[in-house]
Amino acid sequence: MFKTKHQYYVYIITNKKDGVLYIGVSNDLERRMFEHKNKLVKGFSSKYNLNKLIYFESYQFVKDVIKREKNLKKWKRDWKINLIVEDNADWIDLSEDWFY
């Protein structure tokens, strides 16, 4: 039987440069960002208007993405900021042009 390759994401969102950070996981990053941008799920991200995708990584296995999420959540804020700045120095919303 043919198996499709799964894709899982760990991501970091914010409301502005050097703002509040939220780390999450999803198997559909585009759908999840739509939910964040439209405040479709009540909670931390909607309370603080966190809707800018500033960092993400993809994984094939769910156990790996969950392990990475837990690890990142333990990091000091400075370490998280350095991780973001390495790939996205200007904190540009990587999902900016996903929706019209």
Question: Which residues neighbour 98 within 8 Å (Cβ) at sequence distance 6 or greater?
Answer: 30, 33, 34
What pLDDT score was predicted for residue 99?
80
- Residue 5 above 70 pLDDT? yes
pLDDT digits (tens, 9 = 90+) for 26-48: 999 999 999 999 999 899 999 99
Task: Please report which confidence band the pLDDT of residue 2 belongs to, taking 50, 70 and 90 as the band edges.
Answer: low
Task: Please report which confidence band the pLDDT of residue 1 belongs to, taking 50, 70 and 90 as the band edges.
Answer: low
| Pairing state between β 52-59 and 8-14 | antiparallel
